[in-house]
């Protein structure tokens, strides 16, 4: 596999991102290393080719946002909105991630080895997110679809106003948000969890050590008692 | 938006270059705050019976030497005046209350930015790089500092509205965020006899803490009262004679990132302001949790 190196100390991020946005036929199969990211914002956003991108350090806001197909590895931490609105592909943060990690993500897999900040997986729309550490308050707020696995603890208001996303937590949950409740894990859900643990490097963690949470479906279903209001 | 930076140098050998270490931190926060910048530097203390008064004139050609002469003549006491562009630091052993009255009477156009034994404050309008150049931030020496880059959202762009603000001797605060109940806080505090210099929301937060500490709270208790009464978004960074302290609002709306190293503790709104620090690769880098108080002592 061909490997290309870019050093953000000597090359502008715009040039690097424009290269990564080139015609997919010329990029597919390439391996890219980005050195000295030094917390720059918008690194490797909007990728849509079979690229393997490694960011050698800490990334700023929106790293790997809107990702499609590509695999992006951040060796340090990520700022707000990492992999936000990802459509497909794989984003791996080896450090911690700040607020709104994986916000509105439609598809693909986001793995965060460390902790994630507040509002992780907010408005999740179908992607899978695995957090090795703990997540902050208001995570999975209005999450619509997808699977969200937390190996550590969750903060306040987990899954507030959640729709049909599935949330699996191994540690403690400080509090559940409105209309979020504990569920009984069925065989199908257990399989989803086991597969995700395997895919994200936690094959040795038993799915049975998790509790599952989801929507109580009292907020978003029409209730006949309210018919008089219309 | 706004940017905050803080640096506490643990390694005594590096304290003479605190200004050089900090400068890229402050300039790194230019996009978050391009309209004004400010810095509180905690340097060598003046003698135990003396105080430093950081003054701001608003005009470049202010006659500071005359002010020094007038002060000594009227009050029959020695004073040292060290001008730097349109700021000056006045050092004297006269008690602060008398100095304040004299300044108000004879030089009402001057702003008194801070009083203390260690801390000098410089703040002005312009980009962080311009303000740093104007006041020679690069050559600051000291143990710790608190800086700010401002993007004004709720009050005017003037030097007086820039941060840091003070609420007591050798005590300063900078703020990233906005408060929605600054006006009602100000009205409440004015009934308590607290005086305000501007209509800035950060000043309201600062005076709130000043009032709580006047009522006997320590900083932690005062901040716990703050969590109840300050309505809005904030990351607050505070400096005292011996420590830096940081809090984020309960919703974590405003960012902060910390690098703890054997040689220093550095705080900024974003990592890009910390990336240049020596041996940063071996620092413990983390994000502070909301509604928790972090304190680093010298």
A117 and B285: CB-CB below 8 Å? no
CA distance B272 to chain A (A): 4
Comparing alpha-carbon positions, the chain B residue that sits nearest to A134 is B289
Domain count, chain A: 2
Task: Give the span between the Cα atoms of A142 and A163, in whole angstroms.
Answer: 6
Strand A52-56, strand A71-74: pairing: parallel
Residues A71 and A128 grouped into a single domain: no
pLDDT digits (tens, 9 = 90+) for B126-153: 999 999 999 999 999 999 999 999 999 8
* Residue B236, H or E segment: strand B232-239
pLDDT at A134: 98
> Would residue A228 count as lying in a domain?
no
Return the percent helix, strand and coil in chain B, to nearest 5. 30, 30, 35
Residue A108, in any domain of the structure:
no
> What is the pLDDT at residue B58?
79
In the predicted model, is pLDDT for residue A1 greater than 80? no
Q: pLDDT category, A223, cuts 50, 70, 90?
A: confident
Does this model's pTM top 0.95?
no
Shortest alpha-carbon distance between residue A188 and chain B (Å) = 35
A98 domain-assigned? no
Note whether A61 and A127 are same-domain residues: no
Q: pLDDT value at position A220?
A: 80
- Given a cut of 90, whether residue A192 has pLDDT beyond it is yes
Strand partners, A59: A78
Q: Is A39 on the interface with B (CB under 8 A)?
A: yes
Mutation choice for A interface testing from B271, B273, B279 by most A CBs within 10 A? B271
Residues A144 and A178 in one domain: yes
User: pLDDT tens, A42-71?
Assistant: 999 999 999 999 999 999 999 999 999 999
Indicate whether A122 and A70 sit together in one domain.
no
Query: Is the predicted pLDDT of residue B46 greater than 80, yes or no?
Result: yes
Total length of chain A: 230
What confidence tens digit (pLDDT) does each residue in A122-172 have?
A: 999 999 999 999 999 999 999 999 999 999 999 999 999 999 999 999 999
Who contacts A173 (Cβ-Cβ below 8 Å, separation ≥6)?
A153, A154, A158, A211, A213
- Per-residue pLDDT of B93-139, as tens digits, reads 999 999 999 999 999 999 999 999 999 999 999 999 999 999 999 99
Active site (catalytic) residues of B: 2
DSSP state of A97: B
Report d(CA A152, CA B68) in Å as an integer: 62
Which residues in chain A have their CB less than 8 angstroms from residue B252's CB? Answer: 99, 117-118, 136-137
Supply the pLDDT for residue B198.
87
Q: Are A142 and A206 contained in the same domain?
A: yes
Query: d(Cα B231, Cα B283) in Å, to the nearest integer?
Result: 34
Report the pLDDT value the prediction gives residue B24, as an integer from 0 to 100: 97
A47 found inside a domain? yes
> The tokens of B79 are what?
């004073």
Q: Who among B272, B285, B287 is closest to A38 (CB)?
A: B272
Q: Using CB atoms and an 8 Å cut-off, which of residues 219-278 of chain B contact chain A?
A: 251-252, 255, 270-276
DSSP secondary structure, B177-211, as one string: EEESSHHHHHHHHHHTT---S---HHHHHHHHHHH
Quick check: B60 pLDDT over 80? Answer: no
Identify the pLDDT of residue A148.
Answer: 98
Q: How many helices (H) and strands (E) does chain B have?
A: 7, 16
- Which of A93, A127, A161 is a domain's end point? A93
Is the per-residue pLDDT at A222 higher than 80?
no
Q: Pick B270's closest partner by Cβ from A57, A79, A118.
A: A79
Q: Looking at A93, A127, A148, which one is the last position of a domain?
A: A93
Q: Indicate the average pLDDT of chain A.
A: 96
**Quick check: is A177 in a domain?**
yes
Q: What share of chain A is helix, strand, coil (3-state, %, to 5)?
A: 15, 25, 60
Q: Residue A19: inside a domain, yes or no?
A: yes
Answer yes or no: do A127 and A88 share one domain: no
Beta pairing partners, B245: B238, B295
Residue-wise pLDDT tens digits, B218-266: 888 999 999 999 999 999 999 999 999 999 998 999 999 999 999 999 9
State the average pLDDT for chain B: 94
The single-letter DSSP state of residue A75 is S
Does A102 map to a domain? no
Residues of B in contact with A137 (CB under 8 A): 251-252, 290
Mean pLDDT computed over A196-214: 98
A119 and A212 belong to one structural domain: yes
Residue B244 is encoded by which pair of tokens? Answer: 């830096």
Tell me which residue of A142, A101, A145, A110 sits closest to A125, measured CA to CA. Answer: A145
Domain boundaries, position A32? 1-93
Chain-chain contact of A39 with B285 (C-beta, under 8 angstroms): no
Q: Mind listing the pLDDT tens digit for each residue in A87-116? A: 999 999 999 999 999 999 999 999 999 999
What residues of chain A, 127 to 156, have a C-beta less than 8 Å from chain B? 136-138
How far lies B209's CA from each of B9, B17, B121, B155, B178, in Å?
26, 31, 19, 20, 16
For residues A82 and A145, state if they share a domain.
Answer: no
- Calpha distance A43→A98 (Å, rounded): 15
Residue ending a domain, among A93, A128, A144, is A93
Question: Which pair of structure tokens corresponds to residue B170?
Answer: 């050798």
Which pLDDT belongs to residue A221? 79
Q: What long-range pairs does A157-160 form, CB within 8 A, spacing at least 24?
A: A158/A213, A159/A213, A159/A214, A159/A215
Residues A130 and A167 in one domain: yes
Percent of chain B residues topping a pLDDT of 90: 90
Res B154: pLDDT: 80
Q: Decide: B42 and B26 in contact? Cβ < 8 Å.
A: no
Q: Per-residue pLDDT averaged across A69-78, rounded?
A: 98
Is A105 inside any structural domain?
Answer: no
pLDDT-derived band of residue B279, with 50, 70 and 90 as boundaries? very high
What structural domains and CATH numbers belong to chain B?
A: 2-45+127-297 (3.60.20.10), 46-117 (3.30.70.3400)
């Amino acid at each position: 596999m061909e490997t290309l190196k870019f050093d953000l100390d000597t090359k502008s991020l715009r040039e690097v991102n424009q290269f990564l946005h080139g015609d997919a036929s010329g990029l597919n199969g390439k391996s890219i290393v980005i050195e000295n990211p030094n917390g720059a914002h918008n690194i490797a956003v909007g990728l849509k080719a079979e690229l393997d991108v490694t960011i050698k350090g800490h990334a700023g806001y929106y790293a790997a946002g809107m990702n499609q197909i590509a695999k992006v590895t951040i060796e340090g931490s990520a700022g707000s909105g990492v992999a936000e609105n990802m459509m497909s592909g794989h984003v791996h943060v080896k450090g911690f991630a700040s607020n709104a990690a994986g916000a509105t993500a439609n598809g693909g897999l986001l793995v965060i080895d460390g902790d994630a900040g507040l509002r992780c997986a907010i408005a999740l729309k179908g992607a899978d997110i695995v957090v090795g550490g703990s997540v902050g308050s208001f995570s999975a707020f209005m999450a619509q679809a997808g699977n969200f696995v937390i190996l550590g603890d969750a903060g306040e208001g987990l899954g507030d106003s959640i729709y049909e996303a599935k949330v699996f937590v191994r540690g403690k949950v400080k509090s559940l948000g409105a209309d979020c409740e504990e569920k009984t894990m069925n065989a199908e859900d257990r399989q989803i969890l086991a597969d995700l643990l395997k895919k994200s490097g936690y094959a040795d963690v038993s799915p049975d050590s998790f509790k599952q949470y989801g929507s109580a479906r009292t907020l978003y279903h029409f209730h006949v008692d309210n018919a008089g209001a219309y | 938006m706004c940017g905050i930076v803080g640096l506490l140098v643990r390694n005594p050998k590096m304290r003479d270059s605190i200004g050089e270490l900090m400068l890229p931190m402050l300039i790194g926060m230019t996009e978050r705050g391009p309209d004004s910048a400010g810095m509180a530097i905690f340097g060598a203390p003046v003698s135990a019976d003396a105080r430093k008064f950081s003054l701001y004139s608003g005009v470049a050609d202010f006659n500071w030497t005359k002010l020094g002469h007038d002060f000594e003549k009227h009050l029959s006491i020695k004073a040292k005046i060290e001008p730097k562009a349109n700021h000056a630091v006045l050092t004297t052993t006269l008690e602060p209350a008398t100095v304040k009255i004299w300044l108000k009477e004879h030089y009402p156009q001057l702003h008194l930015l801070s009083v203390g034994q260690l801390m000098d404050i410089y703040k002005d309008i312009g980009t962080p790089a311009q303000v740093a150049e104007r006041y020679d931030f690069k050559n600051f020496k000291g143990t710790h500092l608190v800086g700010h880059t401002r993007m004004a959202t709720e009050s005017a762009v003037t030097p007086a509205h820039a941060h840091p603000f003070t609420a007591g001797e050798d005590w300063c605060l900078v703020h990233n965020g906005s408060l929605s109940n600054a006006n009602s806080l100000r009205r409440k505090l004015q009934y308590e006899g607290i005086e305000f210099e501007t209509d800035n929301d950060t000043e309201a937060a600062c005076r709130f803490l000043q009032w709580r500490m006047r009522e006997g709270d320590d900083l932690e208790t005062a901040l716990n009262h703050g969590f109840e009464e300050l309505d809005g978004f904030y990351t607050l960074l505070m400096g005292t004679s011996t420590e830096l302290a940081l809090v984020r609002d309960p919703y974590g709306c405003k960012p902060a990132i910390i690098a703890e190293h054997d040689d220093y503790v550095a705080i900024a709104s974003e990592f890009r302001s910390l990336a240049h620090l020596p041996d940063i690769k071996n620092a413990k880098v983390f994000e502070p949790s909301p509604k928790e108080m972090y304190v680093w002592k010298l």
